Amino acid sequence: SEERSLNFLEQIVEEDIAKGVNGGRVHTRFPPEPNGYLHIGHAKSICLNFGLAKKYNGQTNLRFDDTNPVTEDTEYVESIKEDIKWLGYEWANELYASDYFEQLYQFAVTLIQKGLAYVDDSSAAEIAAMKGTPTEPGKNSPFRDRSVEENLRLFTEMREGKHPDGSKVLRAKVDMASPNMHLRDPLMYRIKHAHHHRTGNAWSIYPMYDFAHGQSDSIEHITHSICTLEFVQHRPLYDWFIEQLNIFPSHQYEFARLNMTYTVMSKRKLLQLVNEGHVTGWDDPRMPTISGYRRRGYTPSSIRHFAERIGVQKRDNLIDVGLLEFCIREELNKTANRVMAVLDPVKLVITNYPEGQTAELPAENNPEDESAGSRTVTFSNTLYIEREDFMEEPPKKFFRLGPGLAVRLKYAYIIKCDSFEKDADGNVTTIYCSYIPESLSGGDTSGLKVKGTIHWVSAAHAAKAEVRLYDRLFSVENPAAEEGDFKSFINPNSLEVVKEAYVEPVLLDAKPGDRFQFLRLGYFCADTDTVPGKPVFNRTVTLKDTWAK
Ligand code: ATP
Ligand code: MG
Ligand code: MG
């Protein structure tokens, strides 16, 4: 990452530092609205804002953009803080836009006094009708020329709660003919007799995003205010308020929001999935939320690497979720201990291995990391193997078990299939094999060569575990872009639960969050539902298909 070229935001920051803008100071902010849990798109913004400040010895504020009383909640505030910390970032200050309500109010009064804001009694529909179109100028409101005194009196009354919701708004007096629709006398305040999660019933007016955001940046002396592309058109208004108020000149910069295949990325849609029970909660391992990825087994560094790899663009695009999967796979390949787990067991008996005899066979924990050490696995004459590792009538290049075929048991011996039994329904119930005593892994003198190696557990020694196999939540690449309800594209097979998998008994000690590679099956993470003696594992990501080789 040291060698990559600077992204456009880093270029801007470096130019500002070189020119001594703000004394070379870099101060960013991450401004979530506490109306939902953070998703992977937010993670990109977090990595960007915190990463930029870190790189240039600056600071980042965490500012809750809590100006909309209706949808916000402290549960969300807590989850947002937890997720940012988990990603590995520390904010310089924890701040709330609602703490600026009085200051913002005073800014509004200043604009009224300067003749740059007015109270409008028009209804929302009337205001919309007077707004014009991008090609036609708008019309001035009949209330636009109210006197400063009248505006001050009415605005005070609005604050005091003397007027009902929707009866009046405060608007900036900019330019009803501006080609930029956002400059056609934008709303600054609306009346809302609503309880706010922090300010309670103190306010009956609330500032609009456009009036609150830039002024909050300015109050905090934010140098680089980074937001997503849909705010490009808002930037002239952002600058206008700051100029007219003659306050600290924060600057806004825009980058492309992250969109990812096979998921949706808006809190509103994610909330629907939660509320309508399509998932078990915000932290369901299928959700693209940070808490979902955490529970699924993703690491903070894998998400940071993902954000770094996708970079910062100026054009909207759709990122392949495969890249995120690649990032976690690459990391867990280096760090996760290997164990054996059989998800769909069939019994295998080794007829020439004495019944009741056992052997403790050494098994390295991680071939990618010598320091991970080794464990032993118990071998016996009765094992479970994966049902799909046996075929009654195997095709030519099937390098696993079938009548007459030989395979290596991982960490153990080469075995050869002599016969098998089926039940009345035709299901294979027992596979009979003989083992080659000279073929033990690590000291094989048999001279035999087999192409396949399969995993197994000893039937009498295995522990039981529940295993949850997750797949993509949507069955189309871009559900938000499809016609109709995005929920009709939910993948009906996004979760498969294996109630009784057989696993190495070391997994009985797994604690929530512990990560493993189940040999040949994928990377798994102990779920928060794990209790001592009853482990539950989530499949984080599959391995690349290895047995086709
Ligand atoms: P959503 O549309 O999902 O509700 P939002 O923009 O309304 O997202 P906020 O809580 O306001 O959510 O976002 C906080 C910050 O995260 C903002 O600066 C926003 O630009 C950024 N952000 C939100 N979604 C994305 C995304 N998909 N990619 C990158 N940054 C994002
Ligand atoms: Mg927002
Ligand atoms: Mg939103």
pLDDT tens for each residue of 189-199 = 999 999 998 99
Number of H-type helices and E-type strands within the chain: 12, 27
Cβ–ligand 1 contact at 455 (below 6 Å): no
Cβ–ligand 1 contact at 258 (below 6 Å): yes
Q: What residue spans define the domains of the chain?
A: 8-255
Q: Which of 171, 235, 267, 294 is catalytic?
A: 267
Q: Relative to the alpha carbon of 33, which ligand is closest?
A: 1
465 has binding-site annotation: no
pLDDT at 545: 41
Distance CA 469, CA 523 (A): 11
Model confidence, pTM: 0.94
Q: Relative to the alpha carbon of 34, which ligand is closest?
A: 1
444 touches 431 (CB < 8 A)? no
Cβ–ligand 1 contact at 31 (below 6 Å): yes
41 has binding-site annotation: yes
Q: With cut-offs at 50, 70 and 90, classify the pLDDT of residue 547.
A: very low
- The CATH code of domain 8-255 reads 3.40.50.620
Query: Is the pLDDT reported for residue 30 higher than 60?
Result: yes
Query: Is the pLDDT reported for residue 53 higher than 60?
Result: yes
CA 509 and chain centroid, separation: 28
Query: Is the pLDDT reported for residue 340 higher than 90?
Result: yes
Q: With cut-offs at 50, 70 and 90, classify the pLDDT of residue 71.
A: confident
Please give all residues whose CB falls under 5 A of ion ligand 2, grouped by chain where several chains appear: 33
Angle at 48 between CA 46 and CA 54, to 5 degrees: 95
Cβ–ligand 1 contact at 228 (below 6 Å): yes
Q: What is the number of other CB atoms lying within 10 angstroms of the CB of residue 267?
A: 21
Ligand 1, atom 16: closest residue by C-alpha: 42
406 has binding-site annotation: no
Q: Is 267 a catalytic residue?
A: yes
Token duo for residue 201 = 């019933």
Query: Is the pLDDT reported for residue 69 higher than 90?
Result: no
Q: Is 85 a catalytic residue?
A: no
Q: Taking all residues of the chain, what is their mean pLDDT, rounded to a whole number?
A: 96
Cβ–ligand 1 contact at 33 (below 6 Å): yes
Q: Best substitution site from 33, 42, 67, 83 to test ligand 1's pocket, by max atoms within 8 Å of Cβ?
A: 42
pLDDT digits (tens, 9 = 90+) for 486-524: 999 999 999 999 999 999 999 999 999 999 999 999 999
Distance CA 364, CA 343 (A): 21
Ligand 1, atom 10: closest residue by C-alpha: 32
266 has binding-site annotation: yes
Q: With cut-offs at 50, 70 and 90, classify the pLDDT of residue 546.
A: very low
pLDDT at 2: 54
Query: Is the pLDDT reported for residue 100 higher than 80?
Result: yes
Helix-strand-coil split of the chain, %, nearest 5:
30, 25, 40
Q: Is 294 a catalytic residue?
A: no
The torsion angle over the Cα atoms of residues 170, 176, 178 and 180, rounded to 10 degrees, is 50
257 has binding-site annotation: yes
Phi, psi of 232 (to 5 degrees): -55, -45
Cβ–ligand 1 contact at 45 (below 6 Å): yes
Q: With cut-offs at 50, 70 and 90, classify the pLDDT of residue 548.
A: very low
